[in-house]
């Protein structure tokens, strides 16, 4: 398993560099969102803020994984949590794109919908306060809107994260003793 591209990817999936890359990617996404909000005055809707929450979850999981990556179970858990985050991010991105394009309809008011014990919009209003209703997202580059970019990025993150789970599980298999010999296979 340690030869070739898959072996290198398996090693990379356990490295601090992998998790640091996810942290930096998440920080880049949050930075772009804040730039659009505060510099370009594109106010965030409830779906945009929910996307930010999923991205913040990705950052927090990746930060924890940097310190716990040497533990095989914790590394696998971090990869599984990354898959769950990618699913949540893809679902919110789909709703955002659907609202923008008109193929999904939902109640998109100014309430974030978080329980009182998890009032992110109250604790960190500069980052998580809903400021407008849903309808459109700003254009990034070449006519691509933020919602369109998010759906593609979320899908890629989901596929990548699922691949990392598979590689991690294959890595587990390579250190489990064989049934007959007691030797590592």
Q: What is the pLDDT of residue 57?
A: 96
Q: Is 185 part of any domain?
A: no
Q: Would you place residue 179 in the very low, low, confident or very high pLDDT band (cuts 50, 70, 90)?
A: very low
Q: Is 117 part of any domain?
A: yes
Percent of the chain with pLDDT over 90: 39
Average pLDDT over residues 120-134: 85
CA distance linking residue 152 with residue 52, whole number of Å: 16
User: Of the segments 34-43, 102-111, 134-143, 168-177, which one has the largest average pLDDT value?
Assistant: 34-43
Q: Is 184 part of any domain?
A: no
- The single-letter DSSP state of residue 3 is S
Average pLDDT in the chain: 84
Q: What is the pLDDT of residue 106?
A: 65
Q: Both tokens of residue 6?
A: 């898959």
pLDDT in tens, 30-48: 999 999 999 998 888 888 8
pLDDT in tens, 44-80: 888 889 999 999 999 999 999 999 878 888 888 999 9
Q: What is the pLDDT of residue 96?
A: 87
Domains: count for the chain: 1
User: Whole domain around residue 156: which residue ranges?
Assistant: 4-173
Q: Is 58 part of any domain?
A: yes
Long-range contacts of 3-11 (CB under 8 A, 24+ apart): 6/167, 6/170, 9/163, 9/164, 9/167, 10/167, 10/168, 10/170, 10/171
In this model, does residue 132 exceed pLDDT 60?
yes
In this model, does residue 175 exceed pLDDT 80?
no
In this model, does residue 183 exceed pLDDT 60?
no
CA distance linking residue 159 with residue 163, whole number of Å: 6
Q: Is 10 part of any domain?
A: yes
Q: What is the pLDDT of residue 178?
A: 41
Domain with 50 in it: what CATH number? 1.20.1550.10
Q: Both tokens of residue 162?
A: 């699922």
CA 103 to chain CA mean position, Å: 24
Q: Is 88 part of any domain?
A: yes
Q: What is the pLDDT of residue 14?
A: 79
Predicted model pTM: 0.82
């Amino acid at each position: 398993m340690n030869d070739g591209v898959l072996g290198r990817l398996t090693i990379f999936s356990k490295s601090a560099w992998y998790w640091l890359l996810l942290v930096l990617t998440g920080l880049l996404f949050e930075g772009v969102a804040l730039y659009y909000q505060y510099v370009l005055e594109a106010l965030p809707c409830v779906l945009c803020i929910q996307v930010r929450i999923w991205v913040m979850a990705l950052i927090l999981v990746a930060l924890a994984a940097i310190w716990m990556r040497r533990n095989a179970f914790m590394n696998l858990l971090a990869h599984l949590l990354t898959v769950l985050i990618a699913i949540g991010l893809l679902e919110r991105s789909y709703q955002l794109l659907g609202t923008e394009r008109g193929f999904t309809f939902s109640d998109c008011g100014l309430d974030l919908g978080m329980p009182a014990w998890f009032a992110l919009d109250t604790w960190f209003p500069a980052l998580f306060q809903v400021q407008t209703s849903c309808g459109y997202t700003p254009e990034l580059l070449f006519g691509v809107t933020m919602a369109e970019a998010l759906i593609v990025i979320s899908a890629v993150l989901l596929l990548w994260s699922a691949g990392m789970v598979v590689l991690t599980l294959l890595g587990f298999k390579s250190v489990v003793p064989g049934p007959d010999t007691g030797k590592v296979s």
